[in-house]
Structure 1
């Protein structure tokens, strides 16, 4: 299972005290910090699995599926438009954690959405764009497991950019030796960055919530399950990334 996070405006909607909000859980067409592109239609087949209008997808705080108090509510509606996956959800305000998260939404103190998913269909795309070769991993069909509200800074762009910069430096070093990285090698380097990113997520702290015995780190099930060993070239990538972080 993997996760993706985007920085969006999360709006409280509906009557006051309804616990309803609206936001994009994913956007289409842009190359994200992992080198992935989600394409329109990626969610179409899976939304029907959840129910009419994509209702019933569970909503969590920070993918904390190990803690029942972090299950905040569910979607009322989920649909693709030209921009991305637009969801309307309802938080259970009679639960302390959900009520607190809703307060954070209303006051604008959280504005990131994330979703956990499995890949059904995907593939590498390489093409020329504006005189440059562009390569990315196209996510064509996805299976959603849950949608999460996450705090600003839970997956900071600076950390993601630093990982990506380190990967690019490895590509540059290998290119200087006279050969280009293959698509498979790029995929393994990106996998390595995801593994390190998962470790960084363990350091995140959530908001004050109802008393709970749950651990402070995210459950392993919400992490990208990627290999952590590879060839010597990829060990070089891991060392470079670790140094950058």
Structure 2
């Protein structure tokens, strides 16, 4: 919910605690290993996941023993591979990941994949197709532009709605002075 009064924005995100989004890969950007991912590289893999009812895992630092949440939306857009997911806040790993993201101690995303089709290029390769296995939260991503862009952290509380109403009321009184 977004409310504006006297130039002040108040945002409340009920039931979205632990929701994160960002880019797991950005088109045309060389990573630390020399790979440059091309637009469309994930298309077949995403279709295969959708067809089989699976999805890439959300892990902590590529550790298959440390899942931290689930990806609810993974799609290619003009910038890269955009992801949205939810940390499992009922787990210690999910709460820890959320705390680290909120504190901005980490903000990286990194993909775990199998190369299907790539071509050699100076200093590395151009990746045209890959099988996406997992997307991890990491402290240092291989591709510098692969980052978490938003973290939802404010659970909805009825008293917060009362606070929002009070703020709107005060803003209205200020406008009328």
TM-score normalised by structure 2 residue count: 0.66
Please name the residue that 1:179 is paired with. Answer: none
Specify whether residues 76 and 14 from structure 1 end up closer, same or farther in structure 2 by C-alpha distance, changes over 3 A only: farther
Considering only CA atoms, is the larger Rg found in Structure 1 or Structure 2? 2
* Structure with higher RCO (Cα < 8 A, 6+ apart): 2
Q: Which has the higher strand share?
A: 2
Matched, 1:117 2:113: yes
| DSSP-derived class of the 2:97 partner | helix
Distance 2:56 2:92 in 1: 20
Equivalents in 1 of 2:125, 2:111: separation in Å?
18
Q: Which one of the candidate residues 68, 72, 76 is aligned to 1:72?
A: 68
CA RMSD in angstroms comes to 2.6
Q: Residue 139 of structure 2: which of 151, 154, 164 is its match? A: 151
Which structure carries more helix by proportion? 1
Q: Deviations over 1:112-162 (max 9, x none)?
A: 11110001111114xxxxxxxx5541100000111100124x87x8xxxxx
Q: CA deviation at 1:32?
A: 2.4
Q: Matched residue of 2:93: which SS?
A: helix
Number of matched pairs: 132
- Matched residues in 2 for 1:102 and 1:81: separation? 26
TM-score by length of 1: 0.49
Superposition misfits of 4+ residues, deviation over 6 angstroms: none
Counterpart secondary structure, 1:40: coil
Unaligned runs of 5+ in 1: 1-12, 126-133, 158-245
In structure 2, the residue matched to 1:93 is 89
Unaligned runs of 5+ in 2: 1-11, 145-177
